[in-house]
A and B are shown apart, each in its own frame.
Chain A
Amino acid sequence: MSTYTPPQWNNKYVSWFDKRLPAITLMHKHLIVYPTPRNINYWWCFGVASAMALVIMLLTGIFLAMYYVADTRLAFDSVERIMRDVNYGWLLRYLHMNGASLFFILVYIHMFRGLYFGSFKAPREVLWWIGVTILFLMIMTAFMGYVLPWGNMSFWGATVITSLATAIPGIGQPLVEWIWGAHSVDQPTLNRFFAWHYLFPIIIAALAFVHMWALHEVKSGNPLGIDIKGPRDTIPFHPYHTVKDLYFLTIVLIFFSYFVFFSPNFFAEADNYVPANPLLTPPHIVPEWYFLPFYAILRAVDSKLGGVLLMLASILVLYIMPYLDRSPVRSGSFRPLFRWAFWIFVADCLFLGWLGAQLAEEPYITLIRIATVIYFAYFFVVLPLLNKYEKPDPLPDSISEPVTSRA
């Protein structure tokens, strides 16, 4: 807000430094006095929790990379050596392995929050687009990371997914071989996946800062979905949100620790503890759970190219959300019909996830088709129709009105 007046720093070193690089003022503005709607609830804590997950992934990943060997003959053993011989190597590895699942759980909830409360609507479109881009990069990073331990699921997963590019007419085959750096998934593939797997999270981290930049320009939305009208509607970030976020992060860490320490292979596939073997196809090739809905959509049509395009569309459609849901009311809490549509959509996504883990046979194929139709209908039919015909409930005048009148 333009009303921000930087403080006078009394400490002479702080003041000296801040005159040359106003980092301290910047932090004061964005972490201390930054105004946040007084009514935001715990769904707004999933952003900061995602950031924590990103930090966990970066830190554990950097240390794992100090011991990991990207050689097809040694990769599997090097991971096993980390687990057995490196001091607390098992902890690093299990944190990183389960951290990926944690990251996706948090980011998916963060996104559903956005879809329910209309966080993608003006003026937050750019913020949302950066988010969708982050999701794309996360998917690629997680996919390449899963290849690194060079287990049998790593190898076959990599083969199946990269081969999807052969569906592109004409250039498909040469393109795949260019990505592989060989005639199949092999040493050059592993080597470059390691390089990319190190690179992408750094880009994600950079985008997360841009995400914050956009956020602080337009400010957080809130469960009522109405604009901040004045200082009565806001509270400063510190101490209110610092303490709330710390509390929430602790709860997330408790949830996470349960898996890391007591069920570290809960999300893992037994076949990935078998070394990669190009001659031994696992009976049932499945991706990690967080890819399952997309994997189901991939198999919704008979054509390979069609499946790939549908799968891409299922993510790309998020970019045009601001133009699909044009209802001027942001928050789902004031849209009685939308609410039903939204929860059916959530259930449909979960159902697609379950279907993604089933074999490609009947009745699953038919169910996948139905669920895929529902998925796209939500975006292209239901939302536009709702905007036209739904009568939203009356909105309160300001954020502070309902809270103060309740008291």
Chain B
Amino acid sequence: MKRIITHALTVAAITVAIGSTQVHAAGIDTTPSLKRLTWTWDGLFGRYDQKQLQRGWTVYSEVCAACHAVKYLRYRDLEGIGLTKAQTEELAAAAEEIQDGFDDAGEPFFRTRIPSDPIQQPYANEEQAKAANGGVAPPDLSMITKARKRGPDYVFGIQTGYPSDFQGEPPEWWIKQFADPKTGEYDFPADKYFNNFFAGHAISMPPQYVDGVVYEDGSSPTQEQGLIDVITFLNWASDPNLEARKTMGLWVLVYLGVLAGFLYALKTYIWRDVEH
């Protein structure tokens, strides 16, 4: 057994050595790298903070909801961030009416929303969303932290990754890398914003400011804190069962750990007389 392990380790070390030289050879890039943030829900004991989720919802509904839907959420789901049933009813009723089939005359029938209805979306359809945003529809945000690599860090990176507030203005390092060395000319779409972390760097979303949002207690967050709050909300929207999952996981691990201990003892006992 020991011999097997030494062999395995030697060979593994050689593989890693070959692998790592490759990584270095390929890694020349001046793009800023995505910051690794810590989130309240990280780790075995990670949880959401309900107050923070509610602040995040406020940021979402006052800023992002102008362009982005959270289509997998219904008003009643907001009880998951600590709103009361009455509050979800109130929010639903305050939203735009929703079409619910047709009336007796065959005309579209509209009614007030109730908590089991989806949260109001900014656009009636994909085409309208595109037309209002320079030809690109803002993606649904109720899955966004799952649908991007290192989702929460990425969303933060996107929101803080604008070197300029204006369209068609790429930063120095990018121009150095991509401009024609002779003429100094470069090719960046005039109607797009530059973003450090967006694939291809040309993004249709203008920089967003969340420090103007007013929370329930009357305070306003810093830009950074507002973003952290809204990303926390978006992560909950992507993964609303996270807390239930981690709680169950801890019990499962405790149960299996104790069971493994007993079974190991039983195994040792049963095998006590067997030479093997």
Contact = CB atoms under 8 A, between A and B. Distances in A.
Given A235-B274, A363-B25, A254 B260 contact: yes
B7 to A, nearest CB: 4
Tell which of B19, B151, B270, B276 has the most Cβ of chain A within 10 Å: B276
The binding surface of chain B is classed by DSSP as: helix
A251 interface: yes
Contacts of A270: 146-149, 151
A403 B273 CA distance: 12
A283 interface: yes
B263 A80 contact: no
A250 B275 contact: no
A343 interface: yes
Interface string A345-359: 011001100100000
Interface residues of B, number: 48
The secondary-structure label for the interface of chain A is: helix
Interface string B1-21: 101100110111011001100
A349 to B, nearest CB: 10
A347 B275 contact: no
A364 B25 CA distance: 11
Interface residues of A, number: 50
B241 interface: yes
A404 interface: yes
Interface string B239-261: 01100111011101100110110
Contacts of A354: 19
A261 B274 contact: no
A266 to B, nearest CB: 12
A406 interface: yes
A340 interface: yes
A197 to B, nearest CB: 23
A240 B72 CA distance: 51
A262 interface: yes
Interface of A: 38-39, 41, 80, 83-84, 90-91, 94, 235, 239-240, 243-244, 246-247, 250-251, 253-254, 257-258, 260-262, 264-265, 270-271, 273-274, 283, 333, 339-340, 343-344, 346-347, 350-351, 354, 363-364, 367, 400, 403-404, 406-407
Q: Which 4 A-B pairs have the closest CB atoms?
A: A261-B249, A273-B147, A247-B263, A347-B11
